[in-house]
Structure 1
Amino acid sequence: MDTTSRRHIFHRAPLVALLTTAVLAALLVTRPALAQEAAGANPIQAVTAGTSEITLAPGKYEWAPERSTEGPLVVVVSLPEQMAHVYRGGVRIGRSTVSSGRAGNDTPPGIYNILQKKRMHHSNLYNSAPMPFMQRLTWDGIALHAGHNPGYPASHGCIRLPKGFAEALFDVTEHGVTVVVADATTNSSDVLYPGDTVPVDAITGRERGRGVDDIALAGTPPTAESRAPGVVVASK
């Protein structure tokens, strides 16, 4: 190799090193972003009012009853979010993915009370299908209970819960506890995507700051007489 060739190689070496360093630096900067993009290629957003939360995978839930041990209990089920949120004393103690009624068997939004509780119930309509930890909301077939949770509406109208969450909820509720089933026709985004603070009155189920004339109630709270456990008419 002649002197001229050596000189060209030596002059190019710093340039090659500089370009290599620049490329490596760019990869280090963009790699986390690419990883985040891949991880969130098909994200299901679960954004709460004023904050963002970790999205739960279908069948997953969080339960922390120690966060609030006293006070009235209320359950908020968001149909658009396919989530249930449990509040005690104004503080959220649990949240879970749900599966509500599929098209044609839609779960009706509204304000309900728990009418009946059975640790193990079998459907009167669907081949005696098991409905563990059943908590009835209406006498014509709408209830909370443990069941398959695929991450989208798939039931005959009931609100399916992961088994562990259904059992935990069953153990802390009583007859008459308020359950709000919310959709965009009945509630604001504060209720559809709630956070750690209860967005409704725990007794009436109405949104805070909104009167009865400001909200369409698709489910009418039952009278004291209708709350007494009785003969099962139908269940889904």
Structure 2
Amino acid sequence: MRKAFSVIAGILLVAAVPPGLAAGPSVNESGLHAAAARNDAAAIRDLLSAGADIDARDGRGRTALLVATHGNRIDAAQALIEAGADVNARDDIHDSPYLYAGARGHLEILTMTLAHGADLKSINRFGGTALIPASERGHVETVRTLIEAGVDVDHVNDLGWTALLEAIILGDGGSRHQRIVDLLLAAKANVDLADREGVTPLQHARNRGYEAIEKRLVAAGAR
């Protein structure tokens, strides 16, 4: 009987705890993620002033800044970054605000992360730098920005691909990817760095019928 009473009392005690005060983020921390999602910079500043943990994690390991970055919520991201949010804090799948902004072409947030300590050598869950998915997805200005910031243009990811290879293999051969190839070549990307099967960027371009990219590679001395 005493044991049953203890269990019931425990259940009632848990039920009496207000939402947000149980195990997990505090009310302020949960509010910070919500404010970031709705791009409410004023609420973010109020919550931080009240003592919210700026780098607290949600159920997926995301900070409020990463939530803001997911939605390209520029005002929220700016408020958080200027308050000292960690631009390199990774979630459960190894995304950080810097890496995600680069991969998705969220240029304004990316620029802010670069100005506040972004780790240019950090890699995503595929072993790639921010430059590689940016090149694949055709984010021309993002690629330019990352190159100018000093990201290694010849970094090889876990698939055995560089930014140049991904721009060709996963790109569409159109004007955006042609411009990205131009940027990578101007940055002295290795035009003959092949994939794990020994297929070079030039061979991939030819196999896909990307004549404009093929011409660029040949002009750069590709074999």
TM-score by length of 2: 0.29
- Bigger relative CO (Cα 8 Å, ≥ 6 apart): 1
TM-score by length of 1: 0.28
Q: Which has the larger radius of gyration?
A: 1
